[in-house]
Amino acid sequence: MTVQEEPALAVEKLPVTRGRGRAFLIFFIILGVIAIGGLLFWLHARQFETTDDAQVGAHLNAISARVDGTIVRVYVEDNQTVKPGDSLVDLDPRDSQVALNQALAQLAEARSMVSAQQPNVPLTTFENAGSISGGEAEVAGAQAALAAARRDRESLAAKLAQAQANNARAQADLSRYKQLIAKEEVSQQEYDQIAAAAKAQQALMASSEADLEAANHVIDQRRAQLAQAETKLAQSRHSAPEQLALRRAQLASQEASVKTAEVQVEQARLKLGYTHITAPIGGIVMKRAAEVGAHVAAGQPLLTIVQIDDLWVTANFKETQLRNIRPGQSVTLHVDSLNEDFAGYVENISGSTGAVSSVLPPENATGNYVKIVQRIPVRIRFKKDQKGLDRLRPGMSVEPEVRIGG
């Protein structure tokens, strides 16, 4: 019985051994597939860096009033798309128009003052030239009069000398005739003639002396007139440049007033233009605060325009992930809300971590320090002309995948 049962047991053990071997084979195959898959995943993952801390960013342009005023019209609503130059808000322009009219009136007045002042410069130049020329002529006349007076005095001095000589001879004749009349050697008539002649010569000499004295007074007078004319000429020559400079300064002052008035007119025109607020850029309107009838002050925000034509992604990578990230590397951007991928590239890396650039950066002053891996913002740009870019909005979550390997 024992010998006959041994073949039956061998037959039963053979399928069990084969099943175990097949199970081990499948296990090792699966293990190999997992290992190969893990290796392939590792090789793939080392070529990329990714993060889920990223979102779409854009320029949010706050539109503010540049002048005080009351809103009379609002052209846009929230979420409305606008183009550059589209009307946004109108302020009441009447106050600004009055200010502009006043500035224009002041400009017209300043220009009229310049027109009235301009002829004074050439007129003053002409008057100064005439005054100097007249003074020179007056000096020349006074000099000629003085020379003539001197010549008259010389002539009178010669006449006086002649009269003195004639008088001396007449007095000598009279003295001689007095002796002769005493001796009755001459007639009384002859004596009387000699005596009359002596008196006449004496009177003539006295008259010549008086004429000479008068000529001296005339010379003094002519000298005074010459000095007065020379002083007047010197004053004209000295004051002429000052008068001309004064006229030019007055004209320059009036011209400066015109410039000031022109600036005031330009400023008033600008303020009037500021009452009509237009879109400086294109985008989508949000945060509209402007309402008709509200009074706004200069600098008060009215609405915000989001520039959706200039979007980027701010990805906050861990500092350990930045070892191989460089500007210019290609990026695949998966947008969660659209479930679409977009192509992009690394534009730049922030100059500090997010903690340092925050409003209240952390400070460790107690000495209790726990090391935390910091995150650094990386700006990623979307490549142009991709389908679906117009559907992106700031704040959308993005998962960027930066290709850091070849």
How far apart (Å, rounded) are the C-alpha atoms in residues 128 and 75? Answer: 67
User: In the predicted model, is pLDDT for residue 2 greater than 70?
Assistant: no
The CATH code for residues 311-406 is: 2.40.30.170
Q: Look at 369 and 388; give whichever has higher pLDDT.
A: 388
E strands of 288-353, at which residues?
295-296, 301-306, 312-318, 330-335, 340-349
In this structure, what token pair is assigned to residue 342? 């977009």
In this structure, what token pair is assigned to residue 340? 């679409």
Neighbour count for residue 123 (Cβ, 10 Å): 11
How far apart (Å, rounded) are the C-alpha atoms in residues 214 and 208? Answer: 10
User: DSSP label at 322?
Assistant: G
Average pLDDT, the chain: 85
Is-contact 369 304, C-beta < 8 A? no
Report residue 62 CA to chain centroid gap. Answer: 26
| Phi (first) and psi of residue 143, to 5 degrees | -65, -40
Amino acid identity for residue 43 in this structure:
L
How far apart (Å, rounded) are the C-alpha atoms in residues 45 and 291? Answer: 54
Q: Which of the four pLDDT bands, split at 50, 70 and 90, describes residue 152?
A: confident
pLDDT per residue over 212-228, tens digit each?
888 888 888 888 888 88
Every domain of the chain and the residues it spans: 61-92+275-305, 113-272, 311-406
Range with the poorest average pLDDT among 130-134, 220-224, 251-255: 130-134
In this structure, what token pair is assigned to residue 143? 């000099």
Fold of 113-272: Helix Hairpins (1.10.287)
Neighbour count for residue 331 (Cβ, 10 Å): 26
| pLDDT reported for residue 116 | 82
| pLDDT reported for residue 218 | 86
Is-contact 103 268, C-beta < 8 A? yes
β-partners of residue 312 are: 57, 381
What is the assigned CATH class of domain 61-92+275-305? mainly beta
User: DSSP label at 389?
Assistant: G
Whether 311-406 and 61-92+275-305 are alike in CATH topology: the answer is no
User: In the predicted model, is pLDDT for residue 4 greater than 60?
Assistant: no
